[in-house]
């Protein structure tokens, strides 16, 4: 069996509910100037829906790619306020974040909705970045693996190998998101290795070996390299630091250097 190609790290910026269209254009204009080396790292920015189209135009000639932060699973119809995969694709995005812990916590997303959204993303040719991760309470109760297992099962039941080959997973311990409390490289690696192991069991060795698993939770320029050097960490989903152009560019640079491990 030929070994799968090495996993190229991906750094994705989740802007959350931040940036007007004008501010988004300013930020991306700076990022285009600051990030120029894509040899060892892929880069995605995920602005709010309202800025997708303008940012897409700005990224026409750039290797920085575009993602949305969520989608709805229906294609069209009477679903006031929702945005489908087709509309996101039409706005120029190639990626979409699915099942972020803030969506699970504040908008009552369940295993079932995460699964439907992941399917809908694939159906529309979008790469879903599917988020999983335990809360502090769950970690302290030694339930991390149990929670991850349930989230993996919930998100990917009914998927085949070919579909899994199109997705990216983000392990984001909820206690590390926006708190400044980053998981240690060893803690993150332990979780990533567990996730890869479960994916291997469900979808086979080759699929699991090629799967990109990002870490998310207070990633900053000074902790990026240590995290990225871990064998099962293939990039990062970055919240707060992705709003600051120099920080995001530094994270991208440090991830690219660490990829040469």
Please pick, from the candidates 87, 174, 233, 238, the single residue that binds ligand PEP as defined by CB under 6 A.
238
Nearer to ligand PEP, 68 or 207 (CB): 68
Nearer to ligand PEP, 182 or 203 (CB): 182
Catalytic residue numbers, as ranges:
100, 172
* Cross-strand bridge partners of residue 89: none
Question: Using the rule CB under 6 A, is 218 a contact of ligand PEP?
Answer: yes
Q: How far apart are CA 148 and CA 248, in angstroms?
A: 28
Tokens of 34: 């600051």
User: Candidates 19-27, 33-41, 116-124, 234-242 — which segment interacts with ligand PEP by CB under 6 A?
Assistant: 234-242
Q: Binding to ligand PEP (CB under 6 A): which residues in 11-40?
A: 14
CB of 60 to ligand PEP, least distance (A): 26
Q: Binding to ligand PEP (CB under 6 A): which residues in 36-55?
A: none
Q: Binding to ligand PEP (CB under 6 A): which residues in 177-216?
A: 177-178, 216
Nearer to ligand PEP, 239 or 256 (CB): 239
Burial category of 166 from C-beta neighbours within 10 Å (exposed 0-12, middle 13-18, buried 19 and up): middle
Question: Using the rule CB under 6 A, is 68 a contact of ligand PEP?
Answer: no
Nearer to ligand PEP, 188 or 208 (CB): 188
Q: How many whole angstroms from its chain centre is CA 224? A: 15
Sign (positive/negative) of CA torsion 51, 53, 55, 56?
positive
Phi, psi (rounded to 5 degrees) for 193: -65, -40
Q: Binding to ligand PEP (CB under 6 A): which residues in 149-178?
A: 172, 177-178
CB of 48 to ligand PEP, least distance (A): 13
CB of 125 to ligand PEP, least distance (A): 23
Token look-up 């199109």 returns: 166
Q: Binding to ligand PEP (CB under 6 A): which residues in 80-119?
A: none
Nearer to ligand PEP, 151 or 207 (CB): 151
Question: Using the rule CB under 6 A, is 237 a contact of ligand PEP?
Answer: yes
CB of 83 to ligand PEP, least distance (A): 19
Q: How far apart are CA 237 and CA 42, in angstroms?
A: 12
Interface residues toward ligand PEP, by CB under 6 A? 14, 172, 177-178, 216-219, 237-241
């Amino acid at each position: 069996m030929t070994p799968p190609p090495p996993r190229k790290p991906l750094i994705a910026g989740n802007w959350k509910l931040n940036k007007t269209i004008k501010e988004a254009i300013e930020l991306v204009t700076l990022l285009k100037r600051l990030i120029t080396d894509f040899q060892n790292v892929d880069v995605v920015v995920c602005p709010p829906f309202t800025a997708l189209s303008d940012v897409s135009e700005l990224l026409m000639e750039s290797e920085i790619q575009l993602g949305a932060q969520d989608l709805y699973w229906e294609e069209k119809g009477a679903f006031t306020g929702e945005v489908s995969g087709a509309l996101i694709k039409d706005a120029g995005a190639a990626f979409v974040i699915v099942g972020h812990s803030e969506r699970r916590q504040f908008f009552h997303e369940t295993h079932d909705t995460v699964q439907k959204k992941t399917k809908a993303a694939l159906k529309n040719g979008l790469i879903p970045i599917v988020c999983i991760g335990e809360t502090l309470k769950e970690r302290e109760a030694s339930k991390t693996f149990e929670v991850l297992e349930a989230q993996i099962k919930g998100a990917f039941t009914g998927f085949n190998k070919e579909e899994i080959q199109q997705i990216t997973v983000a392990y984001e311990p909820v206690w590390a998101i926006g708190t400044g409390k980053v998981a240690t490289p060893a803690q993150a690696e332990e979780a990533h290795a567990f996730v890869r192991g479960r994916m291997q069991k469900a979808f086979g060795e080759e699929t699991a070996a090629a799967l990109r698993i990002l870490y998310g939770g207070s990633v900053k320029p000074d902790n990026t390299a240590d995290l990225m050097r871990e064998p099962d960490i293939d990039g990062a989903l970055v919240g707060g630091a992705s709003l600051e152009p120099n920080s995001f560019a530094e994270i991208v640079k440090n991830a690219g250097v660490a990829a040469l491990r």
